[in-house]
Amino acid sequence: MSKYVTVINNLNFLKLTKIAEYLPGYMEAQKQNNLSLIDILLELTNKELEFRNERAFKVNQTVAALNGEKTIESFDFEFQPSINKFEIMDFSTLRFVENKENIIFVGSSGVGKTHLANAIGIEAIKQRISTYSTPFAKLIDNLLLAQKENRLEKALKNYCKYKILIVDEIGYLPIDAQGANVFFQLVNRKYENSSMILTTNQPFSKWGEIFSNNTIANAILDRLLHHSHVINITGPSYRMKKIINLEGKEEKTSQ
Ligand SMILES: Nc1ncnc2c1ncn2[C@@H]1O[C@H](COP(=O)(O)OP(=O)(O)O)[C@@H](O)[C@H]1O
Ligand SMILES: [Mg+2]
């Protein structure tokens, strides 16, 4: 076996597959451009790292249950002027995670709450910050099941291990006192320990109705809001954009 084949085999055995893939090309480039060994090693190791980062990002994105298409880049800030773009860009630096702050998006259906929560989650994954996203109803179901099976403690710990927990769609369906209680336990544990991003279609004044109890709703809000950024989105539903555009066109043609 030639030394060259042995090197390729060794690289593959060591799982440095991108280096093995790019090595032949760089050997050609070396001949033509007189590259130094260090130049080549730098390029090859960068290729391997790039590949590994991309792969880790994809795995983390799947684990976190985030949608790769709902990003900051794909969000049309002009459509929703009630949102301060600079504030969202600041969130995407993940400074709020360092400060263990929460972000709460409040607004009616279709204004972009889930999109923005997801987009910040994507930025976190890029920076390898552990993130998990769940719909509120599913979270409560899981916690109640865990309680029934005497493993609530373990389930709470599991949700708390993420630096960002995204809880989407609080308030679409009311929950009973038991559900409210397990959510309170989760919020209480995360309080001042790690961040949450929440979305809700209900103003805080209605949270007593969501949690079927004013006292527990107040206790939850008290902790959530203590270190938090509340983003009120007041604008049209993006789902109506096409209709609005069509109406705009019709108006113009009728003038
Ligand atoms: N400003 C926006 N720019 C681009 N897409 C948007 C915008 N606002 C909402 N969308 C899209 O419209 C749909 C509804 O938005 P979503 O975030 O689910 O709304 P909400 O969670 O507030 O009900 C999604 O497909 C989302 O990607
Ligand atoms: Mg939503």
Q: Is 147 in the pocket of ligand 1 (CB under 6 A)?
A: no
Please identify, by atom number, the ligand 1 atom nearest to the C-alpha of residue 199.
21
Q: Where are the domains of the chain?
A: 3-63, 77-241
pLDDT score for 251: 43
- Which residues are in the CB-under-5-Å shell of ion ligand 2? 114
Q: Where are the alpha helices (DSSP H) in the chain?
A: 3-13, 17-33, 37-63, 85-91, 95-98, 113-126, 136-148, 152-160, 177-190, 207-210, 214-226, 241-254
Provide the 8-state DSSP code for 116: H
User: Would you state the torsion angle of the CA atoms of residues 10, 14, 19, 21, taken in this order, to the nearest 10 degrees?
Assistant: 70
pLDDT score for 53: 92
Q: Is 69 in the pocket of ligand 1 (CB under 6 A)?
A: no
Please identify, by atom number, the ligand 1 atom nearest to the C-alpha of residue 241.
12
Kindly give the parts of the chain with pLDDT less than 50.
250-255
Q: Is 238 in the pocket of ligand 1 (CB under 6 A)?
A: yes
> Nearest 5 degrees, angle CA 138-CA 54-CA 104?
35
Q: Is 227 in the pocket of ligand 1 (CB under 6 A)?
A: no
Q: From residue 220, give the alpha-carbon distance in Å to each of 8, 119, 188, 189, 203.
A: 58, 25, 8, 11, 14
Nearest residue by C-alpha to atom 18 in ligand 1: 114
Quickly name the fold that domain 77-241 has: Rossmann fold (3.40.50)
Nearest residue by C-alpha to atom 14 in ligand 1: 110
Burial class (CB within 10 angstroms; exposed 0-12, middle 13-18, buried 19+) of 190: buried
Q: Which of 8, 17, 11 is nearest to 51 (CA)?
A: 17
For a substitution probing ligand 1, which of 66, 88, 115 has the most ligand atoms within 8 Å of its CB? 115
Q: Is 76 in the pocket of ligand 1 (CB under 6 A)?
A: yes
Q: Is 85 in the pocket of ligand 1 (CB under 6 A)?
A: no
Nearest residue by C-alpha to atom 4 in ligand 1: 75
- For ligand 2, the distance from its centroid to the CA atom of residue 169, given in whole angstroms, is 6
Nearest residue by C-alpha to atom 16 in ligand 1: 112
The alpha carbon dihedral of 168, 115, 237, 195 has a sign of: positive
Q: Which two tokens stand for residue 170?
A: 């609080």
Nearest residue by C-alpha to atom 9 in ligand 1: 112
The continuous run of DSSP H or E covering 135 comes out as: strand 131-135
- For ligand 2, the distance from its centroid to the CA atom of residue 183, given in whole angstroms, is 19
The continuous run of DSSP H or E covering 168 comes out as: strand 164-170
Q: Is 113 in the pocket of ligand 1 (CB under 6 A)?
A: yes
